[in-house]
Amino acid sequence: MKACFIGLGYIGLPTSIIAAKGGFNVVGVDINPKIVEKTNQGELHIIENGLEELLKEAIQSKKLRASTQVEESDAYFIVVPTPFKGDHQPDISFVESATRSVIPFLKKGDLYVIESTSPVGTTEKMYELILRERPDLENEIYVAYCPERVLPGNIIYELVHNDRVIGGINEVSTQKAIEFYKQFVKGELHPTNSKTAEMCKLTENSSRDVQIAFANELSIICDKAGINVRELIKLANKHPRVNILNPGAGVGGHCIAVDPYFITADYPNEAKIIATAREINNYKSLWCYEKVLNEILQFEIKNQRKAKVAVMGLAFKPNIDDLRESPSGLIASLLVQKGASAELLIVEPNIQEHSSFKLSNYQEAYEQADIIVFLTAHDEFKSLKPSEDKIVLDFCGVLA
Ligand SMILES: NC(=O)c1ccc[n+]([C@@H]2O[C@H](COP(=O)([O-])OP(=O)(O)OC[C@H]3O[C@@H](n4cnc5c(N)ncnc54)[C@H](O)[C@@H]3O)[C@@H](O)[C@H]2O)c1
């Protein structure tokens, strides 16, 4: 069986590799020729431990090949980005154009699956799009939605072992998609319909967003009340049925900070908690920024000189190099643009260089700075020796 994956990014590339390892003949398609070239040379264009060896094996065994062009296959998987537009409306144009690129190759009996995180109803919409161009395929192809829930950094394990939810536009489509995934997934495959599967993915990330918003709101209340929020949460979690998450500098990444908008955009009158959680988590970053500004101001009035500030971490969560939608990156940008007169030393140990900031070594920045602002709880920061003569603003629990 030949499978064609459209989109060779963080999700599409590892899935192509694992599917090839599972015995399928796979062609991975990307519009970016550099990604295609690198992949065919057995080189990863993303960072993921252990994956390059598997890629090399898949390329050498000729089970996987990358191309800029879709090829006739038996199954097609859409794994392209689904960002939101400026007004937080979902942008499914990538899914549409990837689907259009597949349509000329579709034939009776083929499987078409969307893996991209998508607003409810997208799979049915794409089936309608296919039928508009190819009415001959009505009831002749299998169409399903199968979201991905892997954790970058642990993708190889989770792609194989996580349970998956698979929802077809009808039962036979669900079964066909399950037959495909069961060749390489050891986790349970849960059948449902396409709308439930789409909503399931959005629900998972909205649930995380709401829970983090609760912790972030608590952190702001506790700051005003003079209570250590991390101690409070630890104590509250001693209750056998309470499990509060930890607060941070906001919420980032391209999933939790994005997917809830796919619900609020379509159900603005109903999605009250989900919308408020988004607002709280966005506000938390601005609140952190204000706190830093305030500290700079007080330092400079007291000492009658410019403050040196170490801005520690740009990634959206600990120990990764991913800066997408990062609240730490936003706070750093605000400080650079409107950071009063302070001298800023910006630190991100997981990347070599940044397009807008000059990066400093984390140990040197820590030693030189008057004010330390922890934005991302990278492991490196936890080994820094506490220093009494520094002002520390720990927004992410490095010292906890
Ligand atoms: N990265 C994650 O951790 C994660 C987890 C779960 C779900 N998702 C979802 O999976 C989808 C893909 O995410 P990602 O992180 O892999 O994105 P990505 O940006 O890393 O990769 C997407 C790739 O698709 C390519 N592309 C865009 N349009 C194309 C087209 N028409 N034809 C061929 N290639 C095209 C791009 O060049 C890019 O290489 C998104 O909907 C995302 O929300 C991602």
Using one digit for the tens of pLDDT, what is the confidence trace for 188-237? 999 999 999 999 999 999 999 999 999 999 999 999 999 999 999 999 99
% of the chain beyond a pLDDT of 70: 100
Is residue 218 within 8 A of residue 233, CB to CB? The reply is yes
Per-residue pLDDT at 136 exceeds 90: yes
- 106-125 mean pLDDT: 98
- Which of 30, 76, 201, 261 has most ligand 1 atoms within 8 Å of CB, for mutation? 30
Q: Is 288 a catalytic residue?
A: no
Dist CA 249 CA 239 (whole Å): 26
Q: List all residues whose CB is within 6 A of at least one atom of ligand 1.
A: 6-12, 29-32, 35, 79-82, 94, 97-98, 101, 116-117, 148-150, 152, 254-255
Task: Report CA(30)–ligand 1 centroid distance (Å).
Answer: 10
Task: Report CA(311)–ligand 1 centroid distance (Å).
Answer: 30
Instruction: Give the pair of three-digit tokens for residue 117.
Output: 């995180």
pLDDT at residue 386, rounded to an integer: 85
Instruction: Give the pair of three-digit tokens for residue 203.
Output: 């629900």
pLDDT at residue 88, rounded to an integer: 93
Non-local (6+) Cβ contacts of 293 within 8 A are 335, 338, 339, 340
Ranking 159-163, 194-198, 214-218, 339-343 by mean pLDDT, the lowest is 339-343
Dist CA 10 CA 261 (whole Å): 21
Ranking 37-41, 104-108, 152-156, 361-365 by mean pLDDT, the lowest is 152-156
Three-state secondary structure call for residue 218: helix
Task: Report CA(94)–ligand 1 centroid distance (Å).
Answer: 9
Phi and psi at residue 328, in whole multiples of 5°?
A: -65, -40
Task: Report CA(393)–ligand 1 centroid distance (Å).
Answer: 35
Q: Which helix (H) or strand (E) segment is 13 a member of?
A: helix 12-21
pLDDT at residue 228, rounded to an integer: 97
pLDDT at residue 47, rounded to an integer: 82
Model pLDDT for residues 243-273, shown as the tens digit of each residue: 999 999 999 998 999 999 999 999 999 999 9
Q: Whose CA is nearest to atom 15 of ligand 1?
A: 10
Q: pTM of the prediction? A: 0.93
pLDDT at residue 320, rounded to an integer: 86
Three-state secondary structure call for residue 377: coil
Per-residue pLDDT at 340 exceeds 70: no
H-state helical runs in 110-187: 122-133, 155-161, 171-181
Beta-ladder partners of 223: none
Angle ∠(382,227,338) on CA atoms, nearest 5: 65
Instruction: Output Rg (C-alpha) for the chain, integer angstroms.
Output: 24
State the DSSP string of 143-157. Answer: EEE----PPTTSHHH
Model pLDDT for residues 27-63, shown as the tens digit of each residue: 999 999 999 999 999 999 988 889 999 999 999 999 9
Q: Is 108 a catalytic residue?
A: no
- Which of 68, 80, 258 has most ligand 1 atoms within 8 Å of CB, for mutation? 80
Mean pLDDT of the chain: 96
Per-residue pLDDT at 348 exceeds 70: yes
Closest ligand 1 atom number to CA of residue 149: 6
Dist CA 294 CA 340 (whole Å): 10
Model pLDDT for residues 280-305, shown as the tens digit of each residue: 999 999 999 999 999 999 999 999 99
Non-local (6+) Cβ contacts of 47 within 8 A are 321
% of the chain beyond a pLDDT of 90: 94
Ranking 55-59, 132-136, 384-388 by mean pLDDT, the lowest is 384-388
Task: Report CA(386)–ligand 1 centroid distance (Å).
Answer: 41
- 370-396 mean pLDDT: 95
Per-residue pLDDT at 341 exceeds 90: no
